[in-house]
Structures are given as structure tokens and as C-alpha cells.
Structure 1
Amino acid sequence: MTERAATYTEVFAVREYRYLFTAYLLSLLGDQLTAVTVAYLVYTGTGSAALAAAAYASSYLAWLTGGPLLTGLADRIARRRVMIGCDVARALLIPLAALPGVPAPALVALLFAVNLLRPPFVAARAALLPEVLEGDRYPVANGVDNTTAQIAQVLGFAAGGGLVAALSLRGALLVDAATFLLSAVLIGIGVRARGAPTRPEGPARGGPSVGLRVIFTDQRLRAYVLVLWVATAFTYAAEGLMAPLALQYRGGPGTVGLLLAAAPLGTATGAVLLTRFCPPRTRPRLILPLAVLSAAILTVVALAPPLWTVLGLLMVAGAGSAFGVPLNALFGRAVPAEFRGRAFGVAITGLSGLQGLAMILAGLAAERWAATTVIGTSGVLGAMGVLALAPLWPHRRSRPAAGPLEHLRMTSTTPEGSATASQAANLR
């Protein structure tokens, strides 16, 4: 590991990453535009807030189902082909929502089907990046992706409203479809064709249980995922309480927008500081302290400080949650290539499920207690949870427990019962 952080120029000098990044940005914008536009289309057509909420929440539900079932495609099929296939399928499905007379329940089901294609796309891209980027370019690129995702979330919401106003709801959906089609074209042009990560009879056999075994039988991977899940769940609970928090401070929609924007802005800033200005050797040592900080700082919200202080606390919590950027790089490099798609699928599926559950529980708690009290309590519990996991965190000199992973490889053999040459090389 080098002492100097890679520069953005060095990251974008990699031709494949330039195309992957542009395609990723288009897919992010397309996801946001689709969710906003279809949810609005459902609401204006039915007047049902419940159906509109179901349409918007389909992205979370899709991860809970598509994550376990479909992310394994990234280990069975060439990852470039998986990404192109997902984008093309989304580009074909979305225009169906623009057809006149489509009933609202069908629109919700259609959006759910579109969102089901996101897990295999994300898993394939995450599994491919370590093969595209060498050295410190990989963690720095993770920081770029993280910052881009935060900005794209805000721009996607704003662009969705602008497109609806300028082009009508159905015209906006056609633009959404075009983003996915262009993403597929860019991946096809700029990403080098690679074979499937494993032979069909190799470790690609098996579903999400393989990803779970890979993660939870390895000391490092288990610690990485548990810290990510626990810290993120308790800090993410606050995001579901921005509306009641704004009302507690006698604010309106503008206040809600400011509160929602504070944490993503902090995360984007923290990602830049960690990847661009922090030496590579230092980043792993900051993961646990930042994970604790991301939750612990929210305990001050329980005191119901002035609104400007709450905004600052949310920004600091967001900056602390940037610990996920170097953690993602550690995780991606620690997982063997042939299991990477399913491992990322398990990690992201669990993350999405816990985030959704945390928001629901926080909302239920806010029915009885003030939003500031619930957020502060969530911060305390999150900090305590991360500290409880600290003894599991691998020390720099500890060696990974490779036995379970080797067993998985050894059981993945050719029909004759002998390991392939590539798998034998992996055992070394």
C-alpha cells in the first residue's frame, strides 16, 4: 500500500473506469427519475398516498427480494454482460408505464420489476471494479462513486420535477428509459469483455447462502459487514424523521429539504477528505472511530438544540458515515473474485433491509416521543453497537481465517472431481 493517495486524474486516466463512471451516473439518475415520476404518476392518477408510497418504496423491497435471488448472476455470467442486460431490460420496461390507461397497481408492479434489475447491476459493477482499478485508485474511485451518488440523489429529485413540468409525466419516463439505454451503450463500448468469473460447475453454483457463508465464516468480512450494518442502521433511522423533526422546529417543506440535504452533504465531504487527502495507510485505522462518530454525534440532538446546530450535527454524522468508502474497498479486495458478486449482494441487501427497518421503528417511536429524543437515542444505541463489535475488528497483523473459503473452493470442482487450474491458483 502506497503512502500517497491516488489523484482523481489518475483514477479517470483509466479508460474503462471513465465509461463505467458515466454509465453509473446515468443509471443513478435514471433510478431517481423513474421512482419520482412513477410515484407522481400513481398519485395524480389515483389520489392514493399509500399507492404512491408503495411505488417509491419499491426500490427497498426490490433489494430484499432481488438482492438474494439475482445478485448471484454477477458470479455466473460475465459482469459486463450482466450490466448491459439490466440496463437494456430497464430501458424496455420503463416506456410501458407511459402507455395510456395503465392502472395504478400495474404501475407499482412495473416499477418493482424495474427495481429488481438494480441489485444484479450494482453487484456486477462492484465486483468488476477491483479488476479495473489497481492500487489506491480503487478506494479513491469508491469515494468518487459515493460522492456522485449523494449528488445524483438530489439532482435526480430536482430533475424529475423539472422534466415532468417540461415534458409531461410520460415524456419524462421516456427520458428515463433513454438514460438506461445510453448507459448500456457506454458499457458495451468502453468496458473490456471478460469471461464469467467461474466455470458453470464451479463456485457459481449455489445461491445467496454461498455469499452468507463467504462473509460469516471469515473473520475480516464478518467484522466489516457487521460494523457497516449496525452503524448505518442507527444513523439512517434519523433520515425517516426529517418531516416530524422539521415540524418540531415549526418549519415547513423548506426545512425538511435542508434537513434531508445535510447528511448527504456531509457524506460527500467526508468521502473527499478520506480518499483525496488522507494517506492510504491511515484510512483503515479511521473506520471504527468514524463509525462510532457517525452515531454518537446524534446523541446531542436529544437536547433539542437550535435548528442550525441540528443541521451541523447531521453534517458531521454524514461525514462520519463516509467510513463506508474505505470499508467498501477493504471488503471488495478481501472477497475472492469468484464469490464477489454474491458477497456484495448479501452486504447491500442486508444494508437496505436494516435501513428500511430502522426507519420504520424510528417512525413508530416518534409517535410517542419527540423526534429529537428518538434521534438522540438512536445515536446512543448505534455508538454502543459499534463499540460492542470493536473486539471483532481484525488487527493489522492478524491473518485471515482462510479455511472456510478454501473449503468452498475445494467443493467446487469439475465433473471429474478435480479442481480447475484457475481454482488451484486461487488456493495459493
Structure 2
Amino acid sequence: MTTYREIFANREFRALFAGNAATVAGKTIQMLALSALVYASTGSPLLSALAFLGGLLPQALGAMTLLAYADRVRPRGFLAGWDVARAIAALVLASGVLPVWGMLLLIMAFGAVDALSGGVRNAILVDVLPGGFVLGRATLNVSVGAMQILGFATGGTLIATLGPHRALAVAAVFIAFSAVITFLGLRTRPPRATGRAGVSATWQGNRTLFANRSTRAVLLAAWVPNGLIVGAEAMYVPYAGDWAAVLFVAAAAGMLTGDLVIGRFVPPATLNRFITKLQALLAVPYLLFFLHPDLTVGAVAVFVASFGYAGTLGLQQRLIDHTPEDLRGQALGLDGSGRMTFQAIGAGTVGLVAEATGPATAMTVAAIASLTVTALLQPRLRAREDPRVAQPAGTSGSA
């Protein structure tokens, strides 16, 4: 599958696309409304930030404890059921019955399971679009960016006109719609793996993935260089002040353009050759910030750099190629949660550097560090070895 017409002719992909778009819009509205609600109740910027990003923080915990279930659930029932649970949680938040600490605990608990749901959703995309994962993943990435923009715009309008409680109720409607369309649009599939799941199985699966040099290199390449550049993006506000939105828009536009171009016009069979080049492109333009460029030059540099995020498409395809089917969901879930975690680490690390050097120098340091990691990992990414992760002795695919 190499064209948008082909993938959208697939009924299951249309359901995944619409369901994912509705979920992203609903979650974005929820994050914004909950942050506004907590700030109005407490006046605390810290608690407001936790309400906005708190659901992302526990994903590493979910990756370490729950990901074995990603290959041991029926995707259709799990994804639809999880959206129902998220819609109910949004209604609970909208009701106002929970204290602030209760709301924060609720979103963090759901955040831990989001790592699992991401693995299930990405893995079923491989089944729905045989040979078309890269284009399908790129298309979903574009929809995520568009729905986040729509979600922020809609959420802001709803909060201003209806208040945060009713905005949360609207978020619940979006997420419930996703549950319905996912359940009706996907067909029933059996789990990829059998056997017990849980913490020990998750740890064993993660160890299996990291024991293989190729898989380990792919995961590190997906996590570390990108996380460092996200750290550079965290410096937009200190660097540009009130005009930081220009840099954020340029970054979003570059990322969407990269997904569109690479996903559509680069065949999956040749995408491997572009991974390192795209990851280098992600960092090189940020070296210009050492010269303190004006806003126009800075925005162009950010746009060009963000095109390089499309390298993640090649890394995800390579991860699929190097992972046996009964670990596919866990591998993709680990990839997603690891990227979230390293983005937070990158933002914190670059922020610490900026405290001592200033934002422009910190962005340059992040670019140099990202390029260094990319260069160190390149030989591992080019190495040829068995494309499938070997199962540990004594196991039979049930992990």
C-alpha cells in the first residue's frame, strides 16, 4: 500500500484513523480544561502543569509493568473498552466530585495504561495495513498534529464560553465516539501471544528486546537524539519570549511536512537509508542558534530541523522488522513510552544547561549531543544480523 487512496479504502484503517483523531481531540481538550480547572481551584502553576502533563509522566511505569498485555489482549475489545473507561473518567472529572489530589491521581493512573494502549494501537496497524505501516503511521501522525491544534482551539473556546467542567464533558463525548467507531470498524482478532502476563512477563519481554543489539540500537536511536531536540524546543519561550509561538508553529509545520513527504514518497524498502540522515537533519539546524539568529532565520531553522522527525517512521518500521510477532505490541509500546520519557529527560537536562549558559547555547549543546549519539549509533543501525529478536532459552513465544 503506497497511496492515501489505498489505505483509506481500507475500512479498518478508516476506523483507526477516525477513532485516533477523536481520542486525540478529546484528550487535548481534557488536558487543557483540567489544567484550567486545577489552576482556578488552587492558583498553583505547578499543580496546573501536573494536571496538563501528569498523564504523560507515568508512562515509563506502565512500560515497565504492563506492556506484556499488549500482545495478550484482543485489540478491538481492548481499544474500545479503554476508550469507554477514559470517557467515564472524563465524566468523573467533569462532575467535580473529586478533590484536586484525586483528579491528579486519576489521570496518572490512566497515564500508566496509556503506554499499553499505544502499543496495542500501533501493533494492530501492522495487521490492518500489510506492507503499508509507514504510510499509515505517517498519516496518523499528521492527524495527531491537526487534532491537537483543533483540540487546543476548541478547548480554549469551550472553557471561555462553558467553563472547564462542561469542556470536560465535551471531551468525554469525543472519547466515547472513538470507542464506538473502533468497536464497529475493527474486526475481532486473537491475541498475538499466549501465557501469563504481568510485571515479570513485561520485564522478560523488555530484557529480550534489549538483549538484541539491533533492537537496542533502534530503541536508543528513537529515544535519545529526539529527546535532546525536544529539550531544545523547550527553550523556545526563554529564547523568543512572546514570539515563541512562531517557533512552535514552525516546528509543528516541519514535523507534519516530514511525515507527509517521507510517508508518501519514500518506499518502506529504502527508508532505512534515510534514518541517520533524517536524524542528523533534526539536529544540524539548531547549531545556528549559537549565533543568536533573529526570529525569521530561527523559524526557518526549526522548520527544516523538524522535518527530521520523520526518521522515527523508519525506526518504527525497523523495529517491526526486528521483532517477532508475539512481542510486536510490547516493542511498539516500549518505543512510544521511551520517547515520552526521554523527551521529559531532554527538557530537564537542556533546561539545566540553560541555567548556566543561556537558552541559545543550551540549544546548541543539545544539537551537538544529539548528533554525537546519532553518530555513535550509526554503526549499530547499519549492522547486519538476524532480523528477529531471539527468544531466551526455555521460552516458546509466551514470554
What TM-score do the two structures reach when normalised by structure 1?
Answer: 0.88
Within 5 Å, which residues of 2 pair with 1:233-312? 233-247=227-241, 252=242, 255-312=243-300
Please give the alpha-carbon distance, in whole angstroms, between the structure 1 residues aligned to 2:134 and 2:296. Answer: 33
Residues 65/89 of structure 1: CA separation in 2 closer, same or farther (3 Å cut): same
Matched, 1:170 2:170: no
Matched, 1:410 2:396: yes
Residues 205/301 of structure 1: CA separation in 2 closer, same or farther (3 Å cut): closer
Following superposition, the deviation at residue 166 of structure 1 comes to 2.8
* 8 A Cα contact 2:226 2:343, kept in partner: yes
Q: Which amino acid in structure 1 is aligned with residue 88 of structure 2?
A: L
| Residue-by-residue CA offset, 1:240-284 (whole Å, 9 max, x unaligned) | 11210113xxxx1xx121121221210110111112122333321
What RMSD over aligned residues (CA atoms) do the two structures have, in Å?
2.0
Work out which of the residue numbers 220, 227, 242 in structure 1 matches 2:221.
227
Within 5 Å, which residues of 2 pair with 1:151-166? 151-166=146-161
| Residue-by-residue CA offset, 1:161-210 (whole Å, 9 max, x unaligned) | 01112322111111111111111111110100011222235x88943323
Which residue of 2 is the match for residue 418 of structure 1? none
Larger radius of gyration: 1
Matched, 1:119 2:115: yes
Which residue of 2 is the match for residue 12 of structure 1? 8
Identity of aligned residues (%): 29
Following superposition, the deviation at residue 105 of structure 1 comes to 1.8
Matched, 1:210 2:204: yes
Which residue of 1 is the match for residue 344 of structure 2? 356
* 8 A Cα contact 1:144 1:272, kept in partner: yes
Which residue of 2 is the match for residue 182 of structure 1? 177
Matched, 1:369 2:372: no
Secondary structure at the residue paired with 2:188? coil
Q: Which amino acid in structure 2 is aligned with residue 360 of structure 1?
A: G
Which residue of 2 is the match for residue 323 of structure 1? 311
Work out which of the residue numbers 70, 77, 81 in structure 1 matches 2:73.
77
Residues 302/144 of structure 1: CA separation in 2 closer, same or farther (3 Å cut): same
Work out which of the residue numbers 50, 55, 62 in structure 1 matches 2:51.
55
* 8 A Cα contact 1:214 1:343, kept in partner: no
* 8 A Cα contact 1:302 1:373, kept in partner: yes
Secondary structure at the residue paired with 1:24? helix
Following superposition, the deviation at residue 323 of structure 1 comes to 0.7
Please give the alpha-carbon distance, in whole angstroms, between the structure 2 residues aligned to 1:69 and 1:10. Answer: 37
Please give the alpha-carbon distance, in whole angstroms, between the structure 2 residues aligned to 1:325 and 1:408. Answer: 33
Which residue of 2 is the match for residue 335 of structure 1? 323
Which residue of 2 is the match for residue 383 of structure 1? 371
* 8 A Cα contact 2:76 2:186, kept in partner: yes
Residues 405/349 of structure 1: CA separation in 2 closer, same or farther (3 Å cut): same
Following superposition, the deviation at residue 215 of structure 1 comes to 2.0
Residues 353/403 of structure 1: CA separation in 2 closer, same or farther (3 Å cut): closer
* 8 A Cα contact 1:266 1:316, kept in partner: yes
Residues 204/43 of structure 1: CA separation in 2 closer, same or farther (3 Å cut): closer
- Note the residue ranges of structure 2 that are not aligned, 5 or more in a row: none
* 8 A Cα contact 1:219 1:400, kept in partner: no
Work out which of the residue numbers 131, 145, 148 in structure 2 matches 1:150.
145
| Residue-by-residue CA offset, 1:53-89 (whole Å, 9 max, x unaligned) | 1111212212122232233222221122221121111
Q: Which amino acid in structure 2 is aligned with residue 384 of structure 1?
A: T
Q: Which amino acid in structure 2 is aligned with residue 153 of structure 1?
A: Q
Within 5 Å, which residues of 2 pair with 1:89-108? 89-100=85-96, 102-108=98-104
Please give the alpha-carbon distance, in whole angstroms, between the structure 2 residues aligned to 1:403 and 1:116. Answer: 26
Following superposition, the deviation at residue 394 of structure 1 comes to 3.1
Which residue of 2 is the match for residue 419 of structure 1? none
Following superposition, the deviation at residue 380 of structure 1 comes to 0.8
